Amino acid sequence: MIIKGATALVTGGNRGLGRAFVEALRGAGCARIYAGARRIDGAAADGVVVPVELDITVPAQVAAAAARCADVNLLINNAGVAGFKPALGAPTMDDARLEIETNYLGTLSMCRAFAPVLKSNGGGTLVNMLSVTSFFNAPMNGSYCASKAAAWSLTKAVRFELRAQGTTVIGVYAGFIDTDMTHGLDGEQRQKVMRRSALRRLAEVEDVANAVEYLLSDKARTSPARC
Ligand SMILES: NC(=O)c1ccc[n+]([C@@H]2O[C@H](COP(=O)([O-])OP(=O)(O)OC[C@H]3O[C@@H](n4cnc5c(N)ncnc54)[C@H](OP(=O)(O)O)[C@@H]3O)[C@@H](O)[C@H]2O)c1
């Protein structure tokens, strides 16, 4: 994948890690970056970044985005939610449903809608923003971890199915990042996370965005230290 000159779509591109992806891609020379957001609030295109109204849980909006962004050859499925609730101890299943609807089914919906778009643009690259919690479960965030595990499995399914059309499928398994999402942790939860992960600080959004930009670059293909 050569980012320079590529046309990208980043879901949840309005804040947090998504906004950092948009800026990293701009810095790396993407020709056009569609920044998906649930509310675009009159945000204007600036020559490179084009705001697109996109709630990944609304099928009509996903279909409209695939029609409008028909030149995409790099899709970054970044949008996600975390309720920070245990699986059984949560008072209701509302957070668990929203996490599955967004992190798993919303991502699946985007993959299905954009697979033909990527194919028609030469194969391209699809990135799913997952989590280290795709691999294990943390009790305070049990239903989120389950949704990210489902999205990890989905990523493998999509990789198999898109191999024939030449689409590269990448999963990104980040640890805790300093965004609004982790600001939702209360003080005690935050301390627990830091202690258990032996972290001195949470990752900055730029750390993750730059790592993904590197993965997408030609440098990663030739480096002996591929991530
Ligand atoms: N922060 C972490 O520690 C961490 C660690 C590993 C993985 N991740 C993953 O990284 C991704 C980005 O998270 P973040 O930390 O940047 O979180 P964030 O600051 O809470 O941002 C979440 C983004 O997702 C968007 N979003 C939520 N539901 C959506 C929907 N139905 N349709 C479209 N957009 C939607 C939000 O849009 P609105 O502005 O409209 O709410 C926002 O732009 C997520 O997939 C998350 O699971 C985060």
- One-letter amino acid at 100 equals I
Distance (Å) from CA 206 to ligand 1 centroid: 15
Top-confidence residue, 217 or 126 = 126
- Could you count the other beta carbons within 10 Å of the beta carbon of residue 59? 13
Kindly report, residue by residue over 87-97, the tens digit of the pLDDT: 999 999 999 99
Distance (Å) from CA 18 to ligand 1 centroid: 7
- SS3 of residue 170 by DSSP: strand
**What pTM was computed for the model?**
0.95
Query: Which residue's CA is minimally distant from atom 5 of ligand 1?
Result: 176
In contact, 44 and 1? CB cutoff 8 Å? no
Ligand 1 atom with the smallest distance to the CA of 174 is: 6
Distance (Å) from CA 13 to ligand 1 centroid: 9
Average pLDDT, the chain: 93
Q: Which of 111, 154, 181, 190 to mutate to test the pocket of ligand 1 (most atoms within 8 A of CB)?
A: 181
The predicted model gives 91-117 an average pLDDT of: 98
Burial class (CB in 10 A: 0-12, 13-18, 19+), 16: buried
Ligand 1 atom with the smallest distance to the CA of 18 is: 16
- The structure tokens listed for 129 are 């923003």
Q: How far apart are CA 128 and CA 125, in angstroms?
A: 10
- The structure tokens listed for 113 are 């809608």
Distance (Å) from CA 205 to ligand 1 centroid: 12
pLDDT for the residue 225: 52
Enclosing H/E stretch for 77: strand 74-77
Q: Please, what is the angle between helix 107-120 and helix 59-68, to 10°?
A: 20
**pLDDT for 104 beyond 90:** yes
Which of 13-17, 32-36, 209-213 comes out lowest in average pLDDT? 209-213
Regarding the beta carbon of 106 and ligand 1, being less than 6 Å apart is answered yes
- Residue 103, CB half-sphere, CA atoms under 13 Å: how many? 26
Residue 21: name the closest of 71, 57, 75, 64 by CA.
75
Query: Which residue's CA is minimally distant from atom 47 of ligand 1?
Result: 80
Domains, the chain, ordered by start: 7-220 (3.40.50.720)
- Could you count the other beta carbons within 10 Å of the beta carbon of residue 37? 22
Regarding the beta carbon of 168 and ligand 1, being less than 6 Å apart is answered no
Largest CA distance in the chain: 50
Q: How far apart are CA 53 and CA 128, in angstroms?
A: 19
The band of 137, judged by pLDDT with boundaries at 50, 70 and 90, is very high
Query: Which residue's CA is minimally distant from atom 29 of ligand 1?
Result: 79
Regarding the beta carbon of 114 and ligand 1, being less than 6 Å apart is answered no
Regarding the beta carbon of 22 and ligand 1, being less than 6 Å apart is answered no
> What are the φ and ψ backbone dihedral angles of 80, each rounded to 5 degrees?
-165, 165
The band of 226, judged by pLDDT with boundaries at 50, 70 and 90, is very low
Percentage of residues of the chain with pLDDT beyond 70: 96
Kindly report, residue by residue over 168-191, the tens digit of the pLDDT: 999 999 999 999 999 878 788 878
- The structure tokens listed for 132 are 């280290």
pLDDT for the residue 224: 55
Regarding the beta carbon of 143 and ligand 1, being less than 6 Å apart is answered no
pLDDT for the residue 196: 73
pLDDT for the residue 161: 98
- Could you count the other beta carbons within 10 Å of the beta carbon of residue 224? 4
For 50-75, the three-class secondary structure string (H helix, E strand, C coil) is EEEECCCCCHHHHHHHHHHCCCCCEE
